[in-house]
Amino acid sequence: MISLEQHTDHYFYLYANCFVTRGFSRSTIIDVAHKNLYFIDNAYCDLISRFRVDKIGAVINSFEAQKDVTYFLEFLNFLQANNLGTFVQDITLFPAISLDWDHPSKVTNAIIDSRNINHDFEDILKQLDDLGCLDVQLRFYEKTEISYLESILELTAPTAITAVQMIIRYNALIDSMDYHRLVKKYPVLDLIIVYGSPENKFLEQHDDVREVFKKVLFTTQAVDSCASCGTINLRSMSIPDSVQGYAENVRHNSCLNRKVSVDENGDIKNCPSLPRSFGNVKDTPIARVLEDKDFIKAWNISKESITVCKDCEFRNICSDCRAYTSIPGDILSKPAKCTYDPYLANFA
């Protein structure tokens, strides 16, 4: 237990990479360094904002009731026990972290959907690489042969693409070891999700090569089209790995920022599920689409501008969805497939 006498002349420094988000009913503290989330009462959210101005002694003196001092002490204990902050002599030496976000790549991530047609993957991947794209998700709504997947993966060799995710349909004729061989042969292949599988499981690790661990996921979920995307629940949220990732979520649209999508018809869009096409990849260079202000606009829809979401304590770690919204056609309304109600603080 903290002895208050010892610290009355100190400030309590909530570490700059522990971010407080105030919601309608409660607040969260997101510890980005340790990837932890804590819920706190909104009253404590107000208290935390005083930490940068008032010493512990001054905070205590402002309480009228003794029980408030006790609660305060418990709260400090909670923060310290979870390593969210520490006592310091001079709070001005510990500035806040900037949430400015930028990236050298014009496009950081892309989705390419396929059904029946064979995209010119060589051309698309080359274009994405020229734009600095790092992560590519390939979704197939038809059964695909391993050899076809392999031919696409071969195309990433001359690029600087760092991670490829493949979402493919379950095919009983494919030996699961073939997936295993694929992820082993192509380190760039970060994850294969096999949907429509008989069971939910990660492919077991068959040898001691660490990289193959948990790279093949079988799921019973049916994925028939891009309409299967956009679900928001606790599982779809994740605390970013870095302050940059967190800053991107706060300042930009966490799903669409620096994203380019090619839908199953070859149409270039912000997201395959959004109606507006900015041209077909067969005759429109992706780089030209990026010059369209309307295309870029979606990248900057932050949670602060979305109704309901702006009152949600999860808004800064939410995956978001701008395609399926609760008010169809209103791009600034809450995701339709989000089950959380921030006014009641519960999931439906």
Partner 1 sequence: MEKSFLRINKNERSMSLQHIDLKKKELVVKRNGQTYNLLDFNAVLERRSGFTVQDLVNDSQVLEESLFHEETSYHKEHVLKEANELIDFIHYYIENTSVKVIGKYEHRKLNKLKVLYLATSLGLSVPETFVVSTKADLIRLTKEYCNNIITKAISDGVYLFTNLHGYYSYTERLTLDTITSKLSTSFFPSLIQKEVKKLYEVRSFYLEGAFYSMAIFSQSDKATQTDYRKQGKAKLASRMVPYQLPDATSALLTKLFQVLNLTTGSADFMVDEKGEHVFLEINPVGQFSMTSIPCNYQIEKIIAEKLSCI
Q: In whole angstroms, what is the distance from residue 171 CA to residue 196 CA? A: 9
Exposed / middle / buried, residue 212 (Cβ in 10 Å: 0-12, 13-18, 19+): buried
219 burial type by CB count under 10 A (0-12 exposed, 13-18 middle, 19+ buried)? middle
Q: Give dist(CA 194, CA 180) in Å, integer.
A: 12
DSSP 140-166: ESS---HHHHHHHHHHTTTS---EEEE
Least distance to partner 1 from the beta carbon of 81, Å? 11
To the nearest whole angstrom, how small is the minimum distance from the Cβ of residue 93 to partner 1? 5
Query: Is 141 within 8 Å of 169 (Cβ atoms)?
Result: yes
Residue in 25, 144, 244, 265 binding partner 1, rule: CB under 8 A: 244
DSSP 96: P
Residue among 81 and 172 whose Cβ is closer to partner 1: 81
Q: Which of 37, 99, 174, 188 binds partner 1 (CB under 8 A)?
A: 99
Q: Determine contact, residues 161/108, Cβ cutoff 8 Å.
A: no
Quick check: 38 binds partner 1 (CB under 8 A)? no
CA distance 264 to 225: 9
Does 92 help bind partner 1 (rule: CB under 8 A)? yes
Tell which one of 9, 34, 227, 276 touches partner 1 (CB under 8 A). 34
Told to check if 174 binds partner 1 by CB under 8 A, we report no
| Binds partner 1 (CB under 8 A): choice among 83, 162, 200, 300 | 83
Q: In terms of DSSP H, where are the helices of the chain?
A: 4-7, 42-50, 56-61, 66-81, 121-130, 146-155, 176-185, 243-251, 286-289, 293-297
Stretch that binds partner 1, among 117-125, 148-156, 238-246, 262-270 (CB under 8 A): 238-246
Distance separating alpha carbons of residues 175 and 268, to the nearest angstrom = 34
In terms of Cα–Cα distance, which of 45, 47, 32, 42 is closest to 84? 32
**Closer to partner 1 at the Cβ: 106 or 169?**
106
- Quick one: which of 11, 12, 15, 278 contacts partner 1 (CB under 8 A)? 15
291 touching partner 1, by CB under 8 A = no
Binding segment for partner 1 among 84-92, 114-122, 170-178, 264-272 (CB under 8 A)? 84-92
Q: Quick one: which of 96, 157, 173, 348 contacts partner 1 (CB under 8 A)? A: 96
Interaction between residue 237 and partner 1 (CB under 8 A)? no
> What is the DSSP track for 170-202?
--TTS-HHHHHHHHHH-TTEEEEEEET-SS-EE
Q: Which residue in this structure is represented by tokens 């038809």?
A: 142
Contacting range for partner 1; rule: CB under 8 A; set: 14-22, 262-270, 276-284, 319-327: 14-22
Given a contact cutoff of 8 angstroms between Cβ atoms, the answer to whether 159 and 184 are in contact is no
* Binder of partner 1 out of 6, 49, 77, 89 (CB under 8 A): 89
Residue 132 or 279 with smaller CB distance to partner 1: 132
Stretch in the footprint of partner 1 (CB under 8 A) among 108-116, 243-251, 285-293, 295-303: 243-251
User: Quick check: 1 binds partner 1 (CB under 8 A)?
Assistant: no
Q: What is the DSSP letter of 231?
A: -
Nearer to partner 1, 155 or 243 (CB): 243
Least separation in angstroms between residue 242's CB and partner 1 is 6
Look up tokens 């040898």; give the residue.
Answer: 207
Q: How far is the CB of 207 from partner 1 (least distance, A)?
A: 20
**Where on the chain is the footprint of partner 1 (CB under 8 A)?**
15-17, 33-34, 83, 86, 89-90, 92-100, 102, 104, 242-244, 247
